[in-house]
Structure 1
Amino acid sequence: MNSRDRRKEDIEKAYQVQAAAGLRGFAQFGAVGLGLAAIGHHSWPAFRRQTLPFKAWLVTIVSVFGLCIHAENALQAHELEQRLRENSVRREARLDLARRGLVATESEIAKWRAERERAAAASTSIAPASPSSPR
């Protein structure tokens, strides 16, 4: 898999993570906003006199806030995980290339990564199926 395909896959995964977390945050904060609006309506006469569109706007603002916060936190956690994984792979590549006597340039690391992916693909394609033992 070349770097462009890997990058497109990473972008799609980040979008899915962010969208799922945003929906979860929208639902959670929407429920909280709706609950607070109901409590305010039943316990505070000034809030009770407000129009329905204003109350709906307040609930929507709370929901959108939850969407933004959850989506951003999930994206940052995903990016941190990717950064740690990438640093680990690059560290392994530098060590392996140094053992071979090569300088770990960007192009050498890319070649090393491609070689590693080919070896992993070859090992999974020729791995024998484990026979099931009768009990």
Structure 2
Amino acid sequence: MTIMQRKARSESADEALRAQTQGGLEGMIIYSLVATGVCAVLHQTWPLFRRQTLAGKAFLVSGAGMSGLVIRAEYKLQRYEYKQKRIWNEERKQASAQLAREGSVGSEEEIKRWISDQRQLDLHPPTNTTITLTTSGSYLTQDHAPSVHSSKSNSSSSTTSSSPKVILPQRFGETETELENEVLDVLVKGDE
């Protein structure tokens, strides 16, 4: 197990502990308050309960508080685990779909590697992303390159890059410069 995996597991365990602790405290307070209210009502309305000692009444309230602590803590922990499982399943679906688009069958190891790579990108996003815009016929393609510039070309493959491409259809009557400016505006807003 790598250091990053240990750190992620430790953070996940800490987050689960915080959720469970918070749930336990909430449950203890709520159940104790409800039990105190019930004891007060019973004390005022039922003579047999009124004759019970203070220790007996406190035992009922503390028993309800401990029950609330356990029930609510377990509920919060199960809810946290459910959320984590949904996130994990969603990541696995995305990984399988992406690997299928790339033409490979997603084995367990490949899926884990893809998820790990995505998490690394989430932790350390590229800081200096620049774009090359190239027009080809009625389409505008976007490549990640060292500088921002626009070039007109009639060839369909003007760059041989392994970086991702986005193909945007050019709208009727829109000039290439307007479309390039719109794409740049969207990308700049996305980086902010």
TM-score by length of 1: 0.84
**CA positional deviation for 1:92:** 0.5
Equivalent residue, structure 2, for 1:133: none
Q: Which whole-Å CA distance do the structure 1 matches of 2:71 and 2:124 have between them? A: 43
Q: Which whole-Å CA distance do the structure 1 matches of 2:34 and 2:66 have between them? A: 12
Q: Per the alignment, in what secondary structure is the counterpart of residue 30 of structure 1?
A: helix
Taking every aligned residue pair, what percent have the same amino acid on both sides?
Answer: 35
2:16 aligned partner, one-letter code: A
Equivalent residue, structure 2, for 1:40: 42
**CA positional deviation for 1:49:** 1.2
Give deviations 1:103-135, integer Å, cap 9, x for gaps: 3122211211222223333426447xx8xxxxx
**CA positional deviation for 1:38:** 1.3
Q: Which whole-Å CA distance do the structure 1 matches of 2:126 and 2:120 have between them? A: 10
Of 11-20 and 103-112, the range deviating more from structure 2:
103-112
Higher share of residues assigned strand: 2
Equivalent residue, structure 2, for 1:14: 16
Higher share of residues assigned helix: 1
2:18 aligned partner, one-letter code: Q
Q: Which whole-Å CA distance do the structure 2 matches of 1:42 and 1:122 have between them? A: 63
Higher RCO (CA 8 Å, separation ≥ 6 residues): 1
Give deviations 1:22-70, integer Å, cap 9, x for gaps: 1011111111111111111122111111111111000011111111221
TM-score by length of 2: 0.61
Q: Per the alignment, in what secondary structure is the counterpart of residue 104 of structure 1?
A: coil
Q: Show structure 2 runs of 5+ residues with no match.
A: 130-187
Cα gap change, 1:55 to 1:3, in 2 (>3 Å):
same
Cα gap change, 1:50 to 1:94, in 2 (>3 Å):
same
Task: Give every structure 1 segment of 4 or more consecutive aligned residues whose post-TM-superposition deviation is greater than 6 Å.
Answer: none
Q: Show structure 1 runs of 5+ residues with no match.
A: 131-135
Q: Which whole-Å CA distance do the structure 2 matches of 1:123 and 1:9 have between them? A: 20
Of 59-68 and 86-95, the range deviating more from structure 2:
59-68
Q: Per the alignment, in what secondary structure is the counterpart of residue 2 of structure 1?
A: helix
